[in-house]
Amino acid sequence: WYIDALSDDGRHALTFIAMLGNVFSPFYARARAEGGGHDPLAFSAFNVALYGPSKTAAWALNERGRAEVHREPHALSIGASSARWEGGDLVISLDEPDTPFLTSRLFKSGRIRGTVRVRPETAHGEPLAIDGEGKHLWWPVLPHARVEVEMHEPAIRWKGSGYHDANAGDGPLEEAFRAWDWSRAQTRDGTVILYDVETLDGARTLHGRRIDARGGFHPVEAPRRCELPRSRWGVTRTTRTDAGGHATVQRTLEDTPFYARSVLTKRLYGEDVHAVHEALDLRRFREDWVRFLLPFRMRRV
pLDDT in tens, 135-157: 999 999 999 999 999 999 999 99
Q: What is the pLDDT of residue 106?
A: 47
Q: What are phi and psi of 68, to 5 degrees?
A: -100, 10
pLDDT in tens, 164-219: 999 999 888 999 999 999 999 999 888 999 999 999 988 999 998 999 888 888 88
pLDDT in tens, 241-258: 998 888 999 999 999 999
Three-state DSSP string of 67-100: HHEEEECCEEEECCEEEEEECCEEEEEEEEECCH
Q: What is the pLDDT of residue 294?
A: 86
Q: What is the pTM of this model?
A: 0.92
Give 101's pLDDT tier (boundaries 50, 70, 90).
Answer: low
pLDDT in tens, 207-231: 989 998 888 888 888 889 999 999 9
Residue 198 to residue 11: CA distance in whole angstroms: 33
